[in-house]
Amino acid sequence: MQLSRPASRLGGMKIRFPNLGWKQTLAIILAILSVIGIAMMPGDLSTAGRITLATFALTVIGWTLTKLNDTFVALFAAIGLVISSTIATESFFASLGNSVVWLMIGAFMVANALNKSGVSDRIAMLAAGRANNVGQLFYLLTAVLLLTSLLIPSTSARAAIMIPIYQALSNAFQDAKINRALAIALPVNILLTAVASLVGAGAHLVINDILGQLTGQSLSFIEWIMMGLPFAAISSFGSTWLIMRMFLDKQRRQLPLTNAFTAGIQQAGPLSKQARYIIGVTLTLVLLWSTESIHGIDNALVALMGAIAVTIPVLGVMKFKEAAKGVEWEMILFVAATLGISEALVESGAGRWLVDLLLVQSGIVELGSQIAIILGLVIVTLTSHLYITSRSARGAVLAPLTVLLSFSLGLDPLTVGFITAAGIGYCVTMVVSAKPLTMFQQINGSNNPTYSPADLFRLSTILAPAHVGLIVLFGLFYWPFVGGGNQIPPPASTAEAAETDQLSRAAQRLEAAPITTGRPGLIEEGAFIPQDILDEAGIRHIGGEYQIDPGRPCLSCVVPTATPEPTATPTAVPTSTPPPPPTATPVPPTATSVPPTAVPPTAVPPTAVPPAPPPAPPPAPPPAPPPAPPPAPPPAPEPPPADDDDGGGDDDGEDD
């Protein structure tokens, strides 16, 4: 349906209103309502938070309801946040220097070298040549896709690798049903196997960076493989099994293959020197990425080293300029812009505020069941491809919210982050949900599609519920144990949580290293022990939390001197003031009369008074001393303070 406006004249000038579709009209209405609603809504959200939230809402509307380029929308939003002073200019430009960006650049250049050298094609044809029938071929190609996910950081790039393979196989089959099943299985498994590796999709790098920002802990290359590879293997091979059962009969699944599939390998000949070199570089990259915790070299730097290695003169397979042209720079700019938006959501408090609002409105907190909570998260993330078509955009939108949600629900942030990665990775309901689906459907031209949208929708009606159950099972029984299972107790409120986190972080930093009283950076004998500083500041570690002890004074308080209450041996508290003559002044309840021999004839020096306790009312008048004792050869020992365990002994009058 098209909404049109007739042309009108204003002052002799003809004005023609554009024809707007229902999506564009809905986008304009939602944009206006979002800005007005966020500006006027009650609550304690700051101005910066409101600006960020409005920008975020407009960005999602631009991604879902308009035909504007995703990267254009993201850059426009990020620049708006800079102009409004919501994020600093330096922070915006620093996102281009993020390690995620450089990792993607290096990986793209290595992938281009793999394609040009023919290594990727050879691997795929080798798998096809080892299959005995059509069913085995489908499974072997799935294994090849699982392998390529470890190296190539783009589902579109992996689709480009497999298109020549599909064309060769489809020409050999000459069977419409087998070709249709293969055209569906290849892009579906390209999308589902991506979760196996940190570099399998750009969205994974975005999610991992957000985890590092919010929790201080991100996943290494090998840790991601440990969490993602089992899930990717089960989901992809299970999807292949389902596709063959839905689109191929038993006779076609068991159809034997001819020598046409091995002809390509025989024509290729032996590996060239450059191809062997590229294979060696690729295996070295995988090894270095897997052992980052041992050698300490950042994954992004490893990828750049690989890019240099595959473009080095004489040994390299292509020139550096040629490799750089193959980088998907639009995706690079998109990732950089979304990192800036994600940072604004966190720094302004808008992300936390939005999560609190969602908790109240959705009632997830009140579900009480961890299974129900995880099921709700899975459904939200898995269905997000219906309204956010870009995988990286889904990661940028959902990851900050779901990770912050994990803090409020007491869930492991790494598990929730991986649930998000697995959920947004499912995008096979519609052809427009992912680029690989479109590429394989239009491989023979728009007039001769390899499969219909109805085929994909029919597959998703079974595949989507199966993936929901699989993600829930992994979220309950596998990812929490591999990721660490660090559950965080839910805070009572956002403000209280912020204060608790700030106090805890400050106290933990004090405990981490001694503070010196001398020159900076040196640990001397006069160094304070940080725990002493905490004690002096009145901070105690109680029940796993740092709390202010009301029984201890602060560092800057002036506390009147008060006499300690005896607990060991009941005795009158002596003072340094000369004793007045005996009077009938009543003794306070805190002091008890003792035999004459219990009190020395001389007053205890002021140093015998223990450190001052917390603020208290002015002390009561000193009690009257008992009558003077009869002369004795040595003075009686001084009674120990209330908190001293020393049983007695000779005392020279000094405090120890």
Q: Is 210 exposed, middle or buried (0-12, 13-18, 19+ CB in 10 A)?
A: buried
Residue 193 identity (one-letter amino acid): T
Encode pLDDT of 200-224 as tens digits. 887 888 888 888 888 888 888 888 9
Quick one: which of 30, 16, 22, 28 has its CA closest to 2?
22
Higher model confidence: residue 231 or residue 19? 231
Would the pTM of this model clear 0.85, i.e. be above it?
no
Residue 590 has pLDDT above 50, yes or no: no
Neighbours of 96 (CB within 10 A): 15
What does the pLDDT read at residue 441?
82
* The predicted structure's pLDDT at residue 227: 93
624: pLDDT confidence band, cut at 50, 70 and 90?
low
d(CA 363, CA 635): 75
The two three-digit tokens of residue 433, written as one number: 């949900």
- Ranked by mean pLDDT, the top range of 369-378, 461-470, 540-549 is 461-470
Give the pLDDT score at 367.
64
Identify the top-confidence range among 279-293, 491-505, 566-580: 279-293
Non-local CB neighbours of 16 within 8 Å, separated by 6+ positions: 5, 7
Query: What's the mean pLDDT when you consider all of the chain?
Result: 72
Indicate whether 603 pLDDT > 70.
no
State the greatest distance between any 2 C-alpha atoms of the chain, in Å, as a whole number.
124
CA distance 143 to 384: 27
Answer whether 19's CB lies under 8 Å from 3's CB.
Answer: yes
Express each pLDDT in 532-579 by its tens digit: 444 544 555 454 444 555 554 444 344 444 455 554 444 444 444 455
Over 90: is that where the pLDDT of 232 sits? yes
Digit-coded pLDDT (tens) for 262-277: 555 455 567 788 888 9
- The pair of structure tokens assigned to 207 is 């999610």
Direct distance between the N- and C-terminal alpha carbons of the chain, in angstroms, rounded to an integer: 91
Read off the pLDDT of residues 238-258 as tens digits, 9 standing for 90 and up.
Answer: 999 999 999 999 998 988 876
Percentage, residues of the chain above pLDDT 70: 63
